[in-house]
Amino acid sequence: MTAPSRVFVPSVTEEDGGAIGLGVFSSEETAWKVLRRFLRKSHLMSLKRSDLVIWEVDQVGEDGMTVLTSMHCRDCPVCKRRTFWVDLDTFSAMCTGHSCEAWIEESTIEPGIIDLGWPPTRFLKQAENLEDAISELNKIGAQLEAAGRTPDTVFTSTLEE
């Protein structure tokens, strides 16, 4: 068995600055799975950032490391829980908690347009900028609050595991 030429390292950073490594993986797909699964529980911790880094094996210096993604944690505009992970490099955001699943991403069809949605009600919309997209998701959150929903109430389109 040959050793991998690169490894994928997911990690999260707590509000107090402490880093939590989630493992070292030979597959990008496995590293993403581990990171996404961990982020589903981000509302239980005080996290501010997550990273997925590629390390080239036997490489000396800063060329040995490539940051694949850095995401910052925010309160979700819909469910109001701290589970909304924003990646400004790829211009995407997603609520990772089972409570919501709201998302925002740059359109792959129309350059300069932002797609957004909330899967539990199959809500899909487009906006011209990130602020408008977040505003649209805030409206959904306000409607849910007006209907009596709280951040502790689960409302999702996926089945519980």
List pLDDT tens digits, range 90-113.
778 999 877 688 999 998 888 889
Per-residue pLDDT at 81: 87
**Residues 131-153: pLDDT tens digits?**
899 999 999 889 888 877 655 55
Report the Cα 19 to chain-centroid distance in Å.
Answer: 17
Contact between 99 and 78 under an 8 Å Cβ cutoff? The reply is no
Q: Mean pLDDT lowest for which of 5-14, 15-24, 138-147?
A: 138-147
Those residues with Cβ within 8 angstroms of residue 143's Cβ, 6 or more apart along the chain or in another chain = none
Is pLDDT larger for residue 66 or for residue 121? 66
Cα separation, 85 vs 37, whole angstroms = 13
Domain limits of the chain?
Answer: 1-73, 75-156
Number of C-beta neighbours around residue 28 at 10 A: 15
DSSP assignment of 83-107 equals -EEEETTTTEEEE-STT---EEEE-
**What is the model's pTM?**
0.76
